Structure 1
Amino acid sequence: MALRVGVDTGGTFTDVCLYDGGSKQLTVLKTPGTPHDPGEAVLVGADEAVDLLESSYEEVEFFAHGTTVATNSLLEGKGAKVALFVTQGFRDLLELGRQRRPKLYDLFAQKPELLVDRDRIFEVEERVRYDGTIVRPLDPSTLEEQLEQHQDVLSEVDAIAVCYLYSFENPVHEEVTGKMLQAKFPQAFVTVSSDVLPQFREFERLSTTTINGYIGPVMQNYLRSLRERLAEKGLGVAPKVTQSNGGIISFTTAEDMPVRTVLSGPSTGVVGAAALASKSGFPNIITLDVGGTSSDLALVNNGTPTSTSGMELDSRPIQAPMLDISTVGAGGGSIAWIDNGGLLKVGPQSAGAHPGPACYGNGNIEPTVTDANVVLGILNNEALLGGKMPIDARLSFQAVEALGKRLGLGVEETAQGIISVVTANMAKAIRVISVQKGYDPAEYALVAFGGAGPLHSGRLARELGMKITLVPMAPGAMSAVGMLMTDLKADFVSTARTVLEPQALNRIVDVYESLKADATNWIREEAIAEGDESLHFFADLRYKGQNPACQGELSPPVHSKSALAGRDQEQPR
């Protein structure tokens, strides 16, 4: 018996998918999430799946895990205490950012809180020019004195991030600093920008490196603990974790680069849906993944999910290859409420896994999308999850009726209003990834999955003029199923600041060879069998003198990928 297991932890439920290669049997399970320790739900769900087949962990040949720990740590402000080392004169870069105002006319718009207090940001006397030449060498003895001077502060932090100017051209100063910090403060998670994001745009590189440090200790502790507990149960293979680009990496790699996992769960749902829809004759789809807390949407062309080189999460830029997924706070647990103008709103606040919707009977009295579906009879009024989870429909009616009285509507009208509002929210998010980018939703099939996706697909398709909707056999666990359909994948990126002309050929070849060497080393470390690997090279270009750089598309999921971002650097200072 050769077993493959995929486990996806969401905001409300943990989904488990187990495939028996011998009998070709696919087993799908759901278990309530455990927010206090997401790893507990992973183990409970995996135990139940293995026991159901009367098997054991020793027979598992593949174990993949999708997690929201990194994302939630950032969104909830529960990351590590971080210190930051920057080039002298750039202490305030993290706060200044790009000085853009996304909400130009909002007088009360607030910038996100800094992940690093200013008294833990240290300037270092070093300077590398835009072309990699060293203007001011880093003096190790001076840096040692600086570390001694701030030892009290640095001894109390959980992580230390290092981001020097133009380190993507010459990382030697960051490498020296990183080694000294690791030796002097072994308790800290040390991360340097030349490892995290060796490409230009200093603010985005600084933000991404800082986030990697902020969520690093949290993810490291979580994955390390889960890895040890799985080993104690008899798991003999190295577990994998899904990353934002739709591929998977080992737990140990993710422990060093957790910023790659900010879209860990949603990405594999898109990969799985794209594969299944293509086999069904629908290569062009829009995916609708509705969970308990949010809805994730993505566009797929010719069987390949669209990708992007970065995103903003809670107004903080993260530069890393990832699938282009739009998220809106509209899930089964999203709470319906009335704003100051007396209008009905739904989300982004969610009842989560506990207490959950009112019908769960755990004390929540606010109506949710799930409660509205119970009132309208769309969901069973006695139990969910195929009868495994009893509910109290009376509580749903009470919660929706109380909201309806404030709106002057009956209970059914209020429930229908909640569904209409959440449908409009989802439609708006789909238009962002389709209409606003030149794609007509009517030309795509809608693939609905997640615990609540199929409940809303019909209304949403009608709203957008879409003629075809597809529902997988196990929609509630599509992300877990997708984990069994994805490949090991890594992206290696470098900035080549040069004009595309014959004289630059040697340099361009050198950059590609360096990326190829990095990819080859990774393939060896991941123990990928010879013949299973696949290398794809790409270049992100712009016209000479163009600013900012064009954002190119990344590759489809492959075993391994080496990508080159060949953009010009901004004008040298």
Structure 2
Amino acid sequence: MKTIGVDVGGTFTDLALCDVGNGEVVIHKVATTPHDPSEGVVQGVREVCARAGTEPGEIAYVFHGTTTATNAVLENKLARAGMITNAGFRDILHIGRHQRVEHYSIRQELPWQSRPPIARRHRKTVAGRLVPPTGAELVPLDEAGVGRAAEELKAEGVEAVAICFLFSFLNPAHEERARAIVEAVMPEAFVTTSSSVSPQFREFERFTTAALAAAIGPKVRRYIANLESALARLGVTGELRIMASNGGAATARMVSEKPALTLLSGLAAGVLGGRWVGERMDRHDLITLDIGGTSADISLIREGRFAETDARSTALAGFPLLLPMIDVHTIGAGGGSIAHLDRGGAFRVGPRSAGAVPGPAAYGKGGDAPTVTDAHVVLGHLDPEDFVAGDLRLDPEAAVRVVGDLAGRLGLPLHEAAEGILTVLNANMANAIRSRTVQKGLDPRGFALMAMGGAGPLHGAAVAQMLAIPEVIVPPYPGITSALGLLTTDLKYDAIRTQFQVSDSLDIARLTEGFAAMEAELAGLFSADRVPAERVRTTRTGDLRYLGQGYELSIDFPSGALDAAGLDAVWRSFHDRHAAEYGHAFPGSPIEIVNIRVAGTGLLRKLPGLAAPAGGSLDAAELRRGRCLFRIGGRLTPCDTPFYRREALPVGAAVAGPAIIVQQDSTTLVPPGARAGVHPSGSLVITLGDAA
């Protein structure tokens, strides 16, 4: 069986075509087409099939990580959307919560006020009210009012409608009836409900999540339809699967119905790819550092499990979200990040990026700003004749020109300015990792750093040195690890219910019934996707807190019938987790269950491993030697540096730094004092010495 993973980045679209039977992989990169990412995807699929000698009709699955939803929110390019909500609650989207996002700022921007996903004039209200604790009807739904609101929205040219009623997480009846009325009036519109997107309490976050789901719905639906049609015209008959933010894949049908699943689609695949690489090396505690052309994405994997966001920290472009997502921290730091002086004269690198067009000056496409890639070219770290396997020839003179202009403004020599660009960028990434480790009570020295992305292997060793991390892992295909990660995933759907209960007055039957209902719901979804029941796995978790607290921690629950002994283990786990997270616990205090969750996984055939590296000898792998500059003992020092072809390196070979290791999709920098070796799994392992 042959599958393709396609990951769309800010600069390149990465592809991996894999034969699942023997682990053979053919990789390819094409320029991202920002005006319509599907064009780059289809071009890449066509070209990678040609490289592999494979007909498009032989492809069983195309797994795709898409940035369509993410970019629509980040760039505020949303559909004209409307909302129907309870009378008197038109402005929930505007008011938000009483907490200040920035406690001490008097000029902070609140995105839900400055750029709301649904304009106030498109928010309509109707009579109807459900009340807690059961969702009983207090005021009947004004169905005629819903119809009038839909007619008004249709006349206003609205493309999508979010239906958001109070306490719909307890009883979705009013929302579902309103949806039916709106769809009858506006059959061409995208219609969603807050209870179908995120059936849990916290009305502001639930309404915002539903509003964003509506505002991205038409664009995501069109993108998926266009991509399916284009792949069909190419001759691809296999199924299209879309990466979801929760670390699993979803069918194209599911994503078209629930586009919010993809709000962080592209970022999740890199974490999965990093975990998969680590598993083949028996490394289960990892910091993944995925550096592309525009951004650096950071995530933690502990004991083989990736972290998920919580209600306090899940957000996109400042908008709070209530959705299961892999916890990925993103900063504006990549190969295309632009070095500049800010208005105060301070030296900055990023977050602005040269992107795919025009790209760094060294790309020769009209770029005129100094970027991180240009700095590497000036310092000799990149081979102008062998960049992206020779598919792109670099222009060293252009790089020298733009970095030289910046050096003049800084009053520094050319090479000091170039090295300064890298130092600032590396410090930004190291600080971002500290915020996810040291500031949360975790010691980064207990992790290995997984350097991924096109630019990750160039910076991994330097960032690790700043954090005293002893080991850097560079995957076999670092530049397309996200695309490979797509080939290691399964179908994954989540169900959630808000169910307030307290440990000292627990209704075990009600709790068991809630979990069973969600498991049945997920079984229906997998059945619709033709996944046999024997290939479905479910796991249970709950959002727990001490009674009176404002936020929760996610704790595992046992499967099957619940009893007092099993729940005692849950309470102990919560106390332990609370102590680890906050430094203290209250074992005698009652614990409140807020939400219960079930994650369902439909097992798919996936990439079992990669073909073992063939290698040869160290001498045969050496391409040439060049003059590269590195900081040694506080001084920028020119070094006679060997350049190696990665695929020719033998397993177990020890490459002493300084060295540059080149391959089709990335370049690895081994600094002075470090050593690199090829692991039997095909990954490079860089060990860092004190002299580096």
TM-score, normalisation: structure 1: 0.94
User: Is 1:526 equivalent to 2:529 in the alignment?
Assistant: yes
Residue 115 (structure 1) shift: 1.3
Residue 161 of structure 1: SS of its match in structure 2?
strand
Q: Deviations over 1:478-526 (max 9, x none)?
A: 0000111111111111111223356612221221121011110011012
Residue 44 (structure 1) shift: 0.9
One-letter identity of the residue aligned with 1:513? A
One-letter identity of the residue aligned with 1:56? E
Instruction: Work out whether residues 382 and 392 of structure 1, in 8 Å CA contact, stay in contact via their aligned partners in 2.
Output: no
One-letter identity of the residue aligned with 1:35? P
| Partner of residue 262, structure 1 | 263
Instruction: Work out whether residues 333 and 356 of structure 1, in 8 Å CA contact, stay in contact via their aligned partners in 2.
Output: yes
| Partner of residue 123, structure 2 | 121
How far apart in 2 are the matches of 1:59 and 1:128?
A: 53
User: Is 1:413 equivalent to 2:416 in the alignment?
Assistant: yes
Residue 108 of structure 1: SS of its match in structure 2?
coil
Q: Deviations over 1:277-334 (max 9, x none)?
A: 1220211110000001100000011111111235111110111111111000001111
Residue 495 of structure 1: SS of its match in structure 2?
strand
1:327 to 327, 330, 352: 330
How far apart in 2 are the matches of 1:383 and 1:416?
A: 22
Residue range with higher mean Cα deviation, 188-197 or 102-111: 102-111
Residue range with higher mean Cα deviation, 88-97 or 474-483: 88-97
Q: Deviations over 1:83-114 (max 9, x none)?
A: 01111111111111113222232232222111
How far apart in 1 are the matches of 2:344 and 2:227?
A: 47
Residue 151 (structure 1) shift: 4.5
Residue 534 of structure 2: SS of its match in structure 1?
coil
| Partner of residue 513, structure 1 | 516
User: Is 1:470 equivalent to 2:473 in the alignment?
Assistant: yes
Q: Answer 1 or 2: which has greater strand percent.
A: 2
How far apart in 2 are the matches of 1:426 and 1:211?
A: 29
Residue 252 of structure 1: SS of its match in structure 2?
helix
| Partner of residue 551, structure 2 | 549
After TM superposition, which residue ranges in structure 1, 4 or more long, deviate above 6 angstroms? none
Residue 390 of structure 1: SS of its match in structure 2?
coil
How far apart in 2 are the matches of 1:47 and 1:150?
A: 42
Residue 130 (structure 1) shift: 2.0
| Partner of residue 458, structure 2 | 455
Question: Are residues 61 and 106 of structure 1, via their aligned partners in 2, closer, same or farther at CA, if it must alter by over 3 Å?
Answer: same
One-letter identity of the residue aligned with 1:466? I
How far apart in 1 are the matches of 2:343 and 2:154?
A: 50
Alignment of 1:560-571 (within 5 A): 566-567=593-594
Residue range with higher mean Cα deviation, 118-127 or 53-62: 53-62
1:356 to 355, 359, 362: 359
| Partner of residue 400, structure 2 | 397
| Partner of residue 171, structure 1 | 172
Residue 81 (structure 1) shift: 0.5
Question: Are residues 150 and 312 of structure 1, via their aligned partners in 2, closer, same or farther at CA, if it must alter by over 3 Å?
Answer: closer
Instruction: Work out whether residues 307 and 321 of structure 1, in 8 Å CA contact, stay in contact via their aligned partners in 2.
Output: yes
Residue 179 (structure 1) shift: 0.7
Alignment of 1:81-480 (within 5 A): 81-112=80-111, 113-131=115-133, 132-148=135-151, 151-153=154-156, 156-310=157-311, 311-480=314-483
Computed over aligned residues only, the root mean square deviation of the Cα atoms, in angstroms, reads: 1.7
Residue 530 (structure 1) shift: 3.6
Instruction: Work out whether residues 79 and 214 of structure 1, in 8 Å CA contact, stay in contact via their aligned partners in 2.
Output: yes
One-letter identity of the residue aligned with 1:15? D
Instruction: Work out whether residues 293 and 352 of structure 1, in 8 Å CA contact, stay in contact via their aligned partners in 2.
Output: yes
Residue range with higher mean Cα deviation, 528-537 or 187-196: 528-537
Q: Deviations over 1:400-422 (max 9, x none)?
A: 11111111111111111110111
Residue 510 of structure 2: SS of its match in structure 1?
helix
How far apart in 1 are the matches of 2:521 and 2:191?
A: 21
| Partner of residue 561, structure 1 | none
Question: Are residues 149 and 115 of structure 1, via their aligned partners in 2, closer, same or farther at CA, if it must alter by over 3 Å?
Answer: closer
Instruction: Work out whether residues 82 and 153 of structure 2, in 8 Å CA contact, stay in contact via their aligned partners in 1.
Output: no
Instruction: Work out whether residues 7 and 480 of structure 1, in 8 Å CA contact, stay in contact via their aligned partners in 2.
Output: yes
Residue 245 (structure 1) shift: 1.3
Residue range with higher mean Cα deviation, 510-519 or 469-478: 510-519
Instruction: Work out whether residues 70 and 263 of structure 2, in 8 Å CA contact, stay in contact via their aligned partners in 1.
Output: yes
How far apart in 1 are the matches of 2:91 and 2:439?
A: 34
Residue 36 (structure 1) shift: 1.0
| Partner of residue 492, structure 1 | 495
Largest Rg, 1 or 2: 2
How far apart in 1 are the matches of 2:455 and 2:405?
A: 24
Identical amino acids, percent of aligned pairs? 39
Instruction: Work out whether residues 285 and 301 of structure 1, in 8 Å CA contact, stay in contact via their aligned partners in 2.
Output: yes
Point out where structure 2 has 5 or more consecutive residues left out of the alignment.
558-591, 597-692
Residue 549 (structure 1) shift: 2.8
How far apart in 2 are the matches of 1:366 and 1:76?
A: 22
| Partner of residue 560, structure 2 | none
Residue 429 (structure 1) shift: 1.1
Q: Deviations over 1:167-222 (max 9, x none)?
A: 00011110111111111011211010010001111011001000101111111100
Residue 341 (structure 1) shift: 2.2
How far apart in 2 are the matches of 1:249 and 1:130?
A: 33
| Partner of residue 26, structure 2 | 27
| Partner of residue 38, structure 2 | 39
Residue 361 (structure 1) shift: 1.7
One-letter identity of the residue aligned with 1:117? A
Instruction: Work out whether residues 543 and 595 of structure 2, in 8 Å CA contact, stay in contact via their aligned partners in 1.
Output: no
Residue 381 (structure 1) shift: 2.8
How far apart in 2 are the matches of 1:105 and 1:309?
A: 24
How far apart in 2 are the matches of 1:296 and 1:172?
A: 40
How far apart in 2 are the matches of 1:491 and 1:23?
A: 32
Question: Are residues 477 and 148 of structure 1, via their aligned partners in 2, closer, same or farther at CA, if it must alter by over 3 Å?
Answer: closer
Residue 142 (structure 1) shift: 3.3
Residue 139 (structure 1) shift: 2.4
How far apart in 2 are the matches of 1:120 and 1:472?
A: 49
How far apart in 2 are the matches of 1:12 and 1:568?
A: 40
Residue 116 of structure 1: SS of its match in structure 2?
coil
Point out where structure 1 has 5 or more consecutive residues left out of the alignment.
556-564
| Partner of residue 685, structure 2 | none
Instruction: Work out whether residues 308 and 554 of structure 1, in 8 Å CA contact, stay in contact via their aligned partners in 2.
Output: no
Q: Relative CO higher for 1 or 2, CA cutoff 8 Å, sep ≥ 6?
A: 1
